Structure 1
Amino acid sequence: MKKFFLESIVSFLGIFIGIKYLKFGKMSQKTAYDVLNNNDLKPIGQIQGENSEEKVVNDEKKLFDLNVIVPVYNAENFVEECLNSIISNKTEFNYQITIINDGSSDKSYKIIEKYSKISSVKIINQENLGIGATRNIGINCCKSKYVLFVDADDILFSDAIQKLMGVAIYNDADIVQGSYVRKFKNKEKKMEYSESTSFDKNKLNGYPWGKVIKKDSFKNINFPKGYYFEDTLLSMFVYQRVSKVVIIPDIVYKYRVNPNGIVHTLSNNYRAIDSFWITELILKNYEIYSIKKDDIFLKKVILKQFAINFRRCAFLKPLTIQKAIFELTIINFDRLDEDFSSLGVLFDLFIESIVRKNFNKFFVLCFLIKYI
């Protein structure tokens, strides 16, 4: 009954989508790739990379319990408050702060230099490489059991390290994630999680910050250079390498939403297509890294990511962009060669729209899946 009701709604809404895209027929694979590349050339960064076994050092060689990695790019208005929030953390655990100036053109580096005399601070100054490549450098140069990413315009709560690391060490957890505050302009909203100690990864969000992660989880992989949405690597890849996840209800982080960031300018930002590019790159690396695609958690993550990719590009012009992503999503789904049945009604309908190549229903379901 529930499936019939949902299917009826999807079919009805799909009629309006069909009218808008009526003039577009089936698109070849080559044409689809050409459409995307003409609007957002595929980046050349790769997942396979420098975080090798030699650089991800053994426990006995690790000098710190934790390394806090802070990439900085043109954050002069926020970086001092950010760094002070990290340094003010009082904890029994030994931690280093690695600040990486990623070619800032404002006063960020001058502000960072004021912290150079603090023994627990390491500063790296480099030409602009982008957030993904900068995180890789932070991971490669640190000698710690865990890493914690902090964005330069955000704030770490004063007891965050103690709370996250206390749970991580006690449970020998691969990831410990805390609750956070989301700040957009002058409004703040608490994003609180209930406590959970299990192998269940469903409560993990896709953000790199607000959690401590075992450094070994990044062995032999990189955040691919040059991509937007490089954080997709976490949910689709890194999380598949971990077994023990702990969620704590304590608020540990304040996340400032950038109103000028890509997430808030998707309707006219063609770099939104990177969401598709990085997903395809990750899927192609599953065989290389022996990632098991039969995991229910991963299956849901993949399907949700297909929907996210489409939503991010749903209002870009020309309309052939949406058709291109749809056609290439079908191809990527077929390559998975896995049974995706019995994941729930909405997922079943979504899979059906892909298998039957029904663009109108696929369009509608990409937005409905957001609420699962």
Structure 2
Amino acid sequence: MRLIKISVIVPIYNAEKYLHRCIDSILSQSFKDFEVLLIDDGSTDNSGKICNNYAAKDARIRVFHKKNGGVSTARELGVQQAKGEYSIHVDADDWIECHMLEKMYRKAKQEQLDMLIADFYHDDKGKSIYIKQSGLSTYPDSVLKDILQNKLFGSLWHKLIRHNLYKEKNIHFIENINYCEDVLVLVQLLQQPIKIGFLNEAFYHYNSSNSNSITRNYKLDTYYMRKQYVTILMELLPMTYEPFIMQVATLVKKEAFTHKILPKNEFYNFMPLTIAEIIHSKNLGRKCKMCYILAYLGLYKLSMELSSLIRA
């Protein structure tokens, strides 16, 4: 059986507003040797019907309808079903430019790469901002540390990956994790001796204006999901990464605190700090340090009232 060159995996949940634009941009690629896996994660709108209509017109499209289980299970199903030499993910509310697959595949093959990382565009409210992604090193450990420090974006949609790596290295998406699920896959991949390259061109348009996105609707459940993400990082990474995990944990705690949804017991029990550590922290701004110190002096209610200063 002839090997398909690229599998494009699209997890979908109630994305009818954006889905035509997304799929059309994939089908408009100058590169033709690819398949599209549309993973309908139990959508309750017309997304499933839209997927079926596209599949009826283009043999490169395969549709999978599943019970809603979250984006991790959708991506995992796509990875399991993909037949490509390389694979890449495209989110249903985003879109790609017509030369993306051609240029990324050519670069990956020329340099015999296991992972190719491209630049991307951040689209929000009609504005498109170019986001450069080239790191200082292509060594997997350095790339992973750059991702944990937010120097590189931790998504899979601007990374072309040799697909056999998932099976060869027993790499899977972690069920019930719908925040940074792609980072957790990269954590697994980047602990392997893989060959990485960068492409200094942008093709992917990341749409952050979707108001239904979990990353834009911060609730208490959001905090607990992100806290679980930190716990899994601790399980997946050796002790040498502890300083980087602590940076992630600091930001998770700070975000919940500034949204005024962090329970008092969580503030004191999750990654507790001394006042000296707060003062010398590079991850907390001056206003945040002031509020944290008040909380650790026992003035938690006042610190929460003043926390609005942090987001001002």
Q: Fold match, TM over 0.5?
A: yes
Q: Give the Cα–Cα distance (whole angstroms) in 1 for the partners of residues 161 and 105 of structure 2.
A: 10
2:45 maps to which residue?
A: 106
SS in 1 for 2:267: helix
How far does residue 116 in structure 1 lie from its aligned partner after superposition? 1.3
Do the aligned partners of residues 300 and 150 (structure 1) sit closer, same or farther apart at CA in structure 2, a change above 3 Å counting?
Answer: farther
Q: How do residues 278-357 of structure 1 correspond to structure 2 at under 5 angstroms?
A: 278-286=229-237, 293-294=239-240, 298=241, 301-314=244-257, 315-327=260-272, 357=274
Contact 2:278/2:284 (8 A) holds in 1: no
Q: How do residues 10-25 of structure 1 correspond to structure 2 at under 5 angstroms?
A: none
Do the aligned partners of residues 319 and 299 (structure 1) sit closer, same or farther apart at CA in structure 2, a change above 3 Å counting?
Answer: closer
Contact 1:228/1:271 (8 A) holds in 2: no
Gaps of 5+ in 2: 286-312
1:151 aligns with 2:91: yes
SS in 1 for 2:92: coil
1:271 maps to which residue?
A: 222
SS in 2 for 1:115: helix
2:283 maps to which residue?
A: 366
Do the aligned partners of residues 161 and 196 (structure 1) sit closer, same or farther apart at CA in structure 2, a change above 3 Å counting?
Answer: farther
Tell which has more relative contact order, 1 or 2 (C-alpha 8 A, sep 6+): 1
Do the aligned partners of residues 169 and 204 (structure 1) sit closer, same or farther apart at CA in structure 2, a change above 3 Å counting?
Answer: farther
Q: Which amino acid aligns with 2:113?
A: A
Do the aligned partners of residues 123 and 262 (structure 1) sit closer, same or farther apart at CA in structure 2, a change above 3 Å counting?
Answer: closer
1:218 maps to which residue?
A: 166
Q: How do residues 89-168 of structure 1 correspond to structure 2 at under 5 angstroms?
A: 89-91=29-31, 94-117=33-56, 118-168=58-108
How far does residue 152 in structure 1 lie from its aligned partner after superposition? 0.4
2:301 maps to which residue?
A: none
Identical counterparts, % of pairs: 23
1:341 maps to which residue?
A: none
How far does residue 148 in structure 1 lie from its aligned partner after superposition? 0.3
Contact 1:68/1:97 (8 A) holds in 2: yes
How much is the aligned-residue C-alpha RMSD, in angstroms?
2.6
Do the aligned partners of residues 360 and 299 (structure 1) sit closer, same or farther apart at CA in structure 2, a change above 3 Å counting?
Answer: closer
- Post-superposition Cα deviations, 1:178-209, rounded to whole Å, max 9, x if no partner, equal 11111122332121245878325236421121
Do the aligned partners of residues 163 and 362 (structure 1) sit closer, same or farther apart at CA in structure 2, a change above 3 Å counting?
Answer: farther
Contact 2:9/2:36 (8 A) holds in 1: yes
- Post-superposition Cα deviations, 1:142-177, rounded to whole Å, max 9, x if no partner, equal 122211000001001110001111111111112111
Gaps of 5+ in 1: 1-60, 287-291, 328-352
Do the aligned partners of residues 197 and 306 (structure 1) sit closer, same or farther apart at CA in structure 2, a change above 3 Å counting?
Answer: closer
How far does residue 320 in structure 1 lie from its aligned partner after superposition? 2.1
Equivalent residue for 1:78, pick from 6, 13, 18: 18
Q: Give the Cα–Cα distance (whole angstroms) in 2 for the partners of residues 244 and 180 of structure 1.
A: 21
SS in 2 for 1:367: coil
Do the aligned partners of residues 362 and 90 (structure 1) sit closer, same or farther apart at CA in structure 2, a change above 3 Å counting?
Answer: farther
Normalised to the residue count of structure 1, the TM-score between the two structures is: 0.66
Aligned residues: 270
Q: Give the Cα–Cα distance (whole angstroms) in 2 for the partners of residues 278 and 62 of structure 1.
A: 39
How far does residue 360 in structure 1 lie from its aligned partner after superposition? 6.3
How far does residue 318 in structure 1 lie from its aligned partner after superposition? 2.4
Q: Give the Cα–Cα distance (whole angstroms) in 1 for the partners of residues 243 and 186 of structure 2.
A: 11
